[in-house]
Structure 1
Amino acid sequence: MASHAGATGSSSNEDDDILPPPPGTPKRKKGKRKAKYRKEWEKDFKWIDSVREDEFKANCNVCRRQFSVSHGGLTDVRQHASGEAHKKNETQRRSQGALTQFLIRPATPEANMVTAAEVAHVYHTVKHNLSYNSSDCQFKLTAQTLPDSSIAKKMSCGRTKAEALVTDVLAPKAVEDVLTKLKGDGKPLQFSLQTDASNKGNRKMFPLAVQFFTPEEGIEKKLIDFVENPDESSQGIVDSIQCSLDKTGLALDNVSAFSADNANVNYGVHNSVFTKLKQSNSEILRGNCHAHIVHNTVKHALNELSVDVENIVLKVYGHFSISAKRRETLKEFCAFCDVDFQEILRHVTTRWLSLNPAINRLLENWTALKAYFISLGEECPRHLRALLRLPEDAAGVEEEEADLAEVYLLFCSNVLTLFEEVVKKLERDATTSADLYAIMDSFLQRLIKRRDDKFYGYLTRRKLQLLSPHDANRVRQEFTAFLDTAIGYVRKWFNFSDDNWHFHVQPLCLTSGKISYDDMEKIIEKLHLVDRLNLSMDELYDECVTANGVLGHLKGRQDWPSKGTAEKWVEVLRGRAADLPNILAVVSFVLSIPSSTGYVERVFSFMKNKWTDVRNKCSVALIKSELIVTLNYEKSCSQFYTEAVVDTQLLAAARDQKKYKWKK
């Protein structure tokens, strides 16, 4: 075997030891490395920019097309510039420049009203998921129906202009408003990063959102980026996050927590997104989704039941969803059994709140459903007959009898209500990280109480009395095992000890109507906030005295107990933020940490509404801009117009020809 020269220390060429190819073998060409687009080319060629989706291409703003630079790099750019088509287009652009300047709309009061009306109409189109073509049609119709209106006659906004206003005016302004708040007046706010992943066909999309607290608005959740990233590895996600932060000018040092679902790629021990982010910011906290923990608790606990309740829901829905005739037959059975027909609901295994409503709907139709499947006889699907434990004939269907499947459904209906309540609490916008420990502890105690009292639901207890003693004892043991498994799983994945930082931040909920210096000191020491937030512990004592004086007046108000944690702190800090800088810094840090990933999951719901099959040609940049406008602006369309008509900077950007990329 030939040895490598580097290994033996010999100076002979490595190719001397390789056998020559057989006669007649064609000579293999050496592969050439592709050239990538370089940003410095834009200094000499003002008309090109990069193509985000392809680093081997450049975009010509004069010709309005892309061309490859992979073969010759800068030579390809020069070759494109010397082409006849490019020269002709550049000549036309110069000749049209003077005309464009002549026709540009002056910034008169009437022109401002026209521009504001156009921008507000585009905002209305995006907010309500309307098409740009229908918007253009409405402009033309308005001009015809209101011929006396000078504003309506001058308004025009076709599809191209509407898209340009969204991508280059409204969305950048929405992001800039968020960045202005985060960067503050020389003292940036602490914020958390939230992300998730979802598919759009064969494309993997990642939103990047931030959560922060201000004394004026309370908790704010905003979308700052929405990117396509096929690399789902931890390093790929970290690179995408860092790229978005660099683009917006935000620093990772100001990130309080990283929030994502509980997948290993996000929170694995050794090689995850969280561990890689901690290498850059060692104090970043884990803001994983606790609603996900509750959902997984149900999935694990259901494995203790011998009757597959989830499969029953899926199979029954599948039986009726594919046939209108079966649905009509079930309606006839409901009328015969004197039961009000209710549509069978679909359960999606990845949806956290779809199982319990689907079970309740089966129970509402249970008598008719059971009679229907028994009447099918041998035509009844075998798996459904086994799952529902059906008798061989219809005799005694309407009589009071022991029905094992119904007993399990009743138990699940009762106990899943508890899980459903907890998930809804965790996903509420008003829920903060300070409320989290109390919610999870209350959830655990309620599970333990049900297990110790052997309470499985009133209707479940009545049905258990109809079973044989042997079957009833076995069913009770399974119900107890369900609760034991749920309790064990919650304890495993949520830290209920005093070491959990969620335990120490509970005083910030202000349930006692006061905040003590000792409580604030424990929070600060647990989260290592003294140096991180540049706190003055001596001044903090005086601030606590002042805050307690304010709380003494506020807690006497009738609406005080109904307010959430963030709303209470807004009332305390309103007009007093300058007098309570250290308290504000601590509260802003803690309340910037989310309790679940509900916000970024809602981003995908909005994405599906906007990126429909009808709009399948929309670019990622357009969908991103529409999502940012929809989620970051909470104003009504009329409110937006009222503010836009006096926003000279927004109106100037809307009139600027630079919003059309090919006119730069």
Structure 2
Amino acid sequence: MNDNNLSRLTEKITVGAMEDEEDTHRTPPKKKSRVEKKKTKIVQRFRDDWLEKEEFKFWLQRVPGNLCKARCKLCCHEYTADISVLRAHGQTEKHREKEKPLKDKSMKMTQFVQRGSGIEEPLSIAAKSAEIRIAAFCAEHNIPYAALDHLSDLLKSSFSDSKIAHKIVLKRTKGTAIVKNVIGETEKCRLAEKLKITKFSVLTDESTDISATKTSCLLARYFDEEEGKIVSKFWDLVQVLQPGKVTSATAEHLYNNIIASFKERGIPMANIVGFGSDGCSVMMGVHNSVASRLKRDLPHITIMKCICHSLHLCASEACEQLPRTCEDFARNIHNFFNSSSKRQSEYVEFQMFSNVEVHKLLHPSQTRWLSLATVVDRILEQWPALLLYFTDQWLTIKLKMAQSIYECLNDPFNKLFFFFLQWVLPKFTGVNKYFQSAKVVITDLHEVMIDLYKTLLYSFMKRNYVNSRPLSEVDPEDKVHYLPMAEMYLGVQVLLGQQSRQVQERLDLLTHFREKCQTFLICACVQIKKRYDFTNSFLENLRIFKPKNALSSIEREKTPSLIPLLVTLPRVCEQENYQDVDDQWRRLCSYPLGQEIKALDTDLFWATLLSIQNEGGVHLFQNFTEIRTSVFRILNSSHTPTLQLRRPPKKNYIYIYKYNTDFIYKK
């Protein structure tokens, strides 16, 4: 090899080695990464065939507007519409607990009730129904709501196999809320809706409970189409006095309470056609009373005093004419036994020995004179046993009270007074009880009052004088027409008792006894005449609404037209309807009715008459029957409410509302 070729080869090797050395110090080039394409995830949509699957059919449902979601009806939650997600939810403990009763009973979804945003299971609904019933039971029977704190636990332990009992969660707070906001409010709303479309009368009475809280109770009397009769429903219980604000129960304040109670529920004042209350001046005074304000704002409204209150006042005034010893004697007997268990036990032996009923001695009321009637009956029933017992007590312990009672028991004239009261007081209590009936008895009011008044007049006045003139013209204080003392009728027992030797020996005391009884009868008749208007043609004409009179041809001759009655009731019937009402009234007595209809009570008779139609479907007696129902709801034929309330809790306004809702439920 020549030198030139060798030198070229050596140069190439040297250059190549230098390039290799430089390459080792350079940063190696980055490797190109392989780009992988992401897989697109397929979004699962809700499938209708899932609803048919056994594992989903009880609880799965679509979500409207979103096909990628599914909803659990039991848990009220939404989930991704993925079958694996849904199955995982179905295995949770909370879900399985809710689904178990459905699978056990194989219930259909149509048995679920929609509530709010979710659907409640039937077991929960049954538990809530039980809670409402339990709360209502406490309200109806005056059971303290504090008892509910222990009742739910008692039910769970007593009925361990009941799923409903284990679902009940009811304490005093919840029970009170149920009665206040559910039962009471619902019933009052229903009643308000009825009063908005029907005419009614208002009944009211005030009462002071044992905690010295004065309240005013309001009732509405109307014709209930659902029940087909006249009903009196509790409306409101208003606290009359408010400490620091209202300290006097004035007529203006009471009137505003009544009107506001109806207006706040949107009830038209034009629907009020009658008002009934007791006869106190603040309610029934001529110039400044609740009645005078009603007449001013509601023209032609019918106002009537409660007949039961009036009869009580008549009896009270008359009883004050008798010797005080009669009432003191009754009170002393009760007080002697009341606080001693030993005396009561000893007295039972005397009752058994005397062969009388083992009954307790009663206490006469301080304010209700008519309660004296039952006290008198009990004392006369126990008279033999009382005489033996107090003879023994007077001889042994020699107490002053025992001696006083012993002397009264041995006084024949004292016993005569009790015989007289046993005869006369039931005359008042019988009428009072009759007009407290839930039935419509207003049609009998005038006849019953006439019968009571004449019965008392015939006892001490000559019959010819009483029968020869209208009752309104009979003067009970006219001594010219009095019967001789010996001819007065004071009851059978008095007639027999007057013949005893002990009585005949003291003619002066017998005369005194007869004078006192005569004074009682005179006072009773004067009070009845003062409080009841025997010239009231409206009350007299109400007798035509009794079924037997409405169907009688003889009565039709006496009352051929209803116009004299209708003109007194402009709030009940408009003049343009007079002719239709009169035609139907005249047609009634000749219309063929079955015997079963004629035998019905007054309410049911007129309700049946209202439904009678001709072949064309026209009601034959609709207008006339509506007038009848309006007349019946105008007046109060039963006693206005007197409330006897328990001691309230500290927050009195809660107490008032509680009883408000409790009374609504009971009615």
TM-score, normalised to structure 1, is: 0.69
Do the aligned partners of 2:581 and 2:623 also contact (CA within 8 Å) in 1? yes
Residue 331 of structure 1, CA deviation: 3.5
2:659 to 610, 618, 623: 623
Aligned partner letter, 1:309: C
1:122 to 130, 135, 147: 135
Whether 2:621 is the aligned partner of 1:580: answer yes
Aligned partner letter, 2:578: M
Q: Which residue of 1 aligns with 2:521?
A: 483
Q: Which residue of 2 aligns with 1:553?
A: 593
Whether 2:270 is the aligned partner of 1:227: answer no
Q: How many angstroms apart in 2 are the aligned matches of 1:201 and 1:535?
A: 53
SS class of match (2:237): strand
Whether 2:578 is the aligned partner of 1:537: answer yes
Residue 191 of structure 1, CA deviation: 2.8
Do the aligned partners of 1:225 and 1:244 also contact (CA within 8 Å) in 2? yes
Q: How many angstroms apart in 2 are the aligned matches of 1:616 and 1:582?
A: 47
Aligned partner letter, 1:569: W
Query: Within 5 Å, which residues of 2 pair with 1:367-386?
Result: 367-377=384-394
Residue 121 of structure 1, CA deviation: 2.8
Q: How many angstroms apart in 1 are the aligned matches of 2:373 and 2:362?
A: 10
Q: How many angstroms apart in 1 are the aligned matches of 2:175 and 2:204?
A: 30
Residue 209 of structure 1, CA deviation: 1.2
Q: How many angstroms apart in 2 are the aligned matches of 1:351 and 1:266?
A: 20
Q: Which residue of 1 aligns with 2:568?
A: 526
SS class of match (1:227): strand
CA change 1:159–1:518 in 2 (3 A) is: same
Q: How many angstroms apart in 2 are the aligned matches of 1:130 and 1:525?
A: 50
SS class of match (1:225): strand
Residue 212 of structure 1, CA deviation: 0.7
Aligned partner letter, 2:239: E
SS class of match (2:233): strand
Q: How many angstroms apart in 1 are the aligned matches of 2:134 and 2:147?
A: 11
SS class of match (2:568): helix
2:329 to 306, 309, 312: 312
CA change 1:459–1:411 in 2 (3 A) is: same
Aligned partner letter, 2:249: E
CA change 1:440–1:385 in 2 (3 A) is: farther
Q: Deviations over 1:191-238 (max 9, x none)?
A: 334333323413211111111123442111111211212131111111
Aligned partner letter, 1:430: K
Residue 283 of structure 1, CA deviation: 1.3
Q: How many angstroms apart in 2 are the aligned matches of 1:265 and 1:384?
A: 45
Residue 133 of structure 1, CA deviation: 4.4
SS class of match (2:336): helix
SS class of match (2:119): coil
Give the total of aligned pairs.
508
Q: Which residue of 1 aligns with 2:543?
A: 506
Do the aligned partners of 1:501 and 1:527 also contact (CA within 8 Å) in 2? no
Do the aligned partners of 1:356 and 1:417 also contact (CA within 8 Å) in 2? yes
Residue 489 of structure 1, CA deviation: 1.4
Do the aligned partners of 2:437 and 2:638 also contact (CA within 8 Å) in 1? no
CA change 1:470–1:622 in 2 (3 A) is: closer
1:190 to 200, 203, 206: 200
Segments of 5+ residues of structure 1 without an aligned counterpart are: 1-100, 392-396, 632-664
Q: Which residue of 2 aligns with 1:458?
A: 492
Segments of 5+ residues of structure 2 without an aligned counterpart are: 1-113, 242-247, 462-486
Q: Deviations over 1:302-353 (max 9, x none)?
A: 2333364223222221222132333344334445555444311111132354
CA change 1:546–1:597 in 2 (3 A) is: closer
Q: How many angstroms apart in 2 are the aligned matches of 1:534 and 1:220?
A: 27
Q: How many angstroms apart in 2 are the aligned matches of 1:546 and 1:191?
A: 29
Whether 2:374 is the aligned partner of 1:357: answer yes
Which one scores higher on RCO, CA 8 angstroms, separation ≥ 6? Answer: 1
Q: Deviations over 1:41-72 (max 9, x none)?
A: xxxxxxxxxxxxxxxxxxxxxxxxxxxxxxxx
CA change 1:306–1:389 in 2 (3 A) is: farther
Whether 2:286 is the aligned partner of 1:249: answer no
CA change 1:303–1:619 in 2 (3 A) is: closer
Q: Which residue of 2 aligns with 1:166?
A: 179
Q: How many angstroms apart in 2 are the aligned matches of 1:500 and 1:380?
A: 62
Aligned partner letter, 2:255: V
Do the aligned partners of 2:252 and 2:290 also contact (CA within 8 Å) in 1? yes
Q: How many angstroms apart in 1 are the aligned matches of 2:301 and 2:116?
A: 53
SS class of match (1:527): coil
User: Percent of counterpart pairs with the same letter?
Assistant: 21
Q: How many angstroms apart in 2 are the aligned matches of 1:105 and 1:575?
A: 48
1:203 to 193, 198, 213: 213
1:345 to 359, 362, 378: 362
Q: Which residue of 2 aligns with 1:418?
A: 427
Q: How many angstroms apart in 1 are the aligned matches of 2:259 and 2:218?
A: 11
Residue 621 of structure 1, CA deviation: 1.8
1:267 to 284, 306, 309: 284
Whether 2:534 is the aligned partner of 1:493: answer no
SS class of match (1:325): helix
Residue 490 of structure 1, CA deviation: 0.8
SS class of match (1:262): coil
Q: How many angstroms apart in 2 are the aligned matches of 1:526 and 1:104?
A: 57
Q: How many angstroms apart in 2 are the aligned matches of 1:105 and 1:202?
A: 49
Q: How many angstroms apart in 1 are the aligned matches of 2:172 and 2:233?
A: 27
Q: How many angstroms apart in 2 are the aligned matches of 1:615 and 1:313?
A: 40
TM-score, normalised to structure 2, is: 0.69
Do the aligned partners of 2:179 and 2:661 also contact (CA within 8 Å) in 1? yes
Do the aligned partners of 2:211 and 2:648 also contact (CA within 8 Å) in 1? no
Do the aligned partners of 2:201 and 2:275 also contact (CA within 8 Å) in 1? no
Query: Within 5 Å, which residues of 2 pair with 1:421-432?
Result: 421-432=430-441
Q: Which residue of 2 aligns with 1:178?
A: 191
SS class of match (2:249): coil
SS class of match (1:427): coil
Residue 471 of structure 1, CA deviation: 3.0
Q: Which residue of 2 aligns with 1:56?
A: none
CA change 1:109–1:342 in 2 (3 A) is: closer
Q: How many angstroms apart in 2 are the aligned matches of 1:250 and 1:268?
A: 26
Residue 240 of structure 1, CA deviation: 1.0
Residue 560 of structure 1, CA deviation: 4.6
SS class of match (2:438): coil
Aligned partner letter, 2:533: N
Aligned partner letter, 1:619: Y
CA change 1:534–1:118 in 2 (3 A) is: farther
CA change 1:471–1:527 in 2 (3 A) is: same
Aligned partner letter, 2:494: T
Residue 446 of structure 1, CA deviation: 1.9
Query: Within 5 Å, which residues of 2 pair with 1:468-479?
Result: 468=504, 469-479=507-517
